[in-house]
Structure 1
Amino acid sequence: MTVAHHVQRSIVVLAHNLRSVFNVGSLLRTSDVFAVERVYVTGFTPYPSQSDDSRDPALQARLTKRIAKSAAGAERTMPVTHQPDVYALLESLRTDGYTVAGLEIDDGAVTIAEYHPPDRIALLLGDEVRGIDASLREHCDVLLQVPMYGQKSSLNVSVAAGVALYCLRTHGDDGAGHR
């Protein structure tokens, strides 16, 4: 199978307050597929072992093993960084030229398929139940949403991230990798 050449956009993902190790594993796998440069985990999001990890080794091993079930190896290939302060991370990314896009169902959100992403974008994901809280939404440059056509009004966070990452990775690609 050949790998298609797509727009070389820099994409990072911020997973804030995700509860499920399975969602984290799925997010890592999906992020690897769409060539995300790094996944940042903030809040209480579980994450695999890190080189400078200060957590209890037994906890690290247990979380890494559980994440690995849905990550299918991406827990070893996808760069993951734990950041204690989500607001400082957002400002740091913005200073580095990233546009912060929150993925959220919101009246002010832009439909993901209609969004023209910049060359550097940080996709912020919120928790599985409440999404991105209001104070964090205010720190986003744009809110994006996946349109819903059926009876359900929301998607699992890792599934929504997959749809968004596909759109962010391929938008502006004419099939030959030209913009």
Structure 2
Amino acid sequence: MTGPEDEPDDAPGPTEWRTGPEPVGVGPWPGGPEAWPDDPRYDPELLAAGDRRNVVDRYRYWRREAVVADLDRRRHPFHVAIENLHHDANIGTIVRTANAFAAAAVHVVGRRRWNRRGAMVTDRYQHVHHHPDVGALLAWARGEDLAVVGVDNAPGARRLEAATLPRRCVLLFGQEGVGLTRAAAAGADSVVSIAQFGSTRSINAGVAAGIAMHAWVRAHADLDAAW
């Protein structure tokens, strides 16, 4: 059997499929069915028609389940949670960023429904869980021995830039505009803030989540394992 990781560096592979000035995925596997890899991770429909999904080259033509299974072997031991009180449009962006940084899971707290547009279909590959309220999230985190780190620019918060995030943790964010609820801030093991230097009171929740996740990556991730 052959797969991407056992093929030699000079092995023939798919070429970029261009429909305009920028590449959009890849076309059918070169050489037709006779040349298809003998590997169950590959999807015959994608091999035949091409793969235009938003995935890195390693996962081109792979079945969705195979991609998820491979990511599960590589996920980092941090989680991301966000309070969803008013159908926050930032959750999709947070899911997409969590996928990019291989977070263990994203947890939506409060309303179950969320706007998936910003996720750019990455929610198919990222574990997303729901908790009815902050109390349920905190109880789950305690049961998993995960430290809960609230992220908010509230008085008394420690600067993220000067803090060391726990390796096993949940990064907890509040609703866009209002920040962490009192219950979330009180239940967190610690609260950190992101240093700001302009006139705005706060930054976008999706941006804040990306900054915090990257801080975790800088502190704990094996950068040699990055794509």
Fold similarity call, TM over 0.5? yes
* Number of corresponding residues: 155
Distance 1:174 1:95, change over 3 A: closer
Q: Equivalents in 1 of 2:184, 2:223: separation in Å?
A: 35
In the alignment, the residues of structure 2 paired with residue 22 and residue 130 of structure 1 have an alpha-carbon distance, to the nearest angstrom, of: 14
Q: How does 1:11-160 map to 2 (within 5 A)?
A: 11-17=78-84, 19-20=86-87, 22-44=89-111, 46-47=113-114, 67=116, 69-160=117-208
Question: Which runs of no fewer than 5 residues in structure 2 stay unpaired?
Answer: 1-55, 59-74
Identity %: 29
Whether the 8 Å CA contact 2:88–2:176 is kept in 1: the answer is no
Q: Structure 1: which 4+ aligned runs deviate by more than 3 Å? A: 18-22, 172-177
Match of 1:55 in 2: none
**Deviation, structure 1 residue 153:** 2.4
Greater RCO, 1 or 2 (C-alpha within 8 Å, sep 6+)? 1
CA deviation map 1:19-49 (0-9, x unaligned): 35531111110110111111111112533xx
Q: RMSD of the TM alignment (CA)?
A: 2.5
Between the aligned partners of 1:105 and 1:175, the Cα distance in structure 2 is: 29
In the superposition, relative to structure 1, how do residues 2 and 150 fare at CA in structure 2: closer, same or farther (>3 Å)?
A: farther
* Larger Rg belongs to: 2
Q: CA deviation at 1:79?
A: 0.7
**Gap regions ≥5 residues in structure 1:** 48-65
TM (norm. structure 1) is 0.76
The aligned counterpart of 2:211 is 163
* Distance of 2:146 and 2:57 partners within structure 1: 30
AA in 2 matched with 1:22: A
The letter for the 1-side match of 2:202 is S
TM-score (norm 2): 0.61
Q: Any conservation in 2 of the 1:19–1:45 contact (CA below 8 Å)?
A: no
In 2 relative to 1, CA 82–169 (structure 1 residues): closer, same or farther, beyond 3 Å?
A: same
1:38 counterpart letter in structure 2: A
Query: What is the alpha-carbon distance in structure 2 between the residues aligned to residue 134 and residue 174 of structure 1?
Result: 35
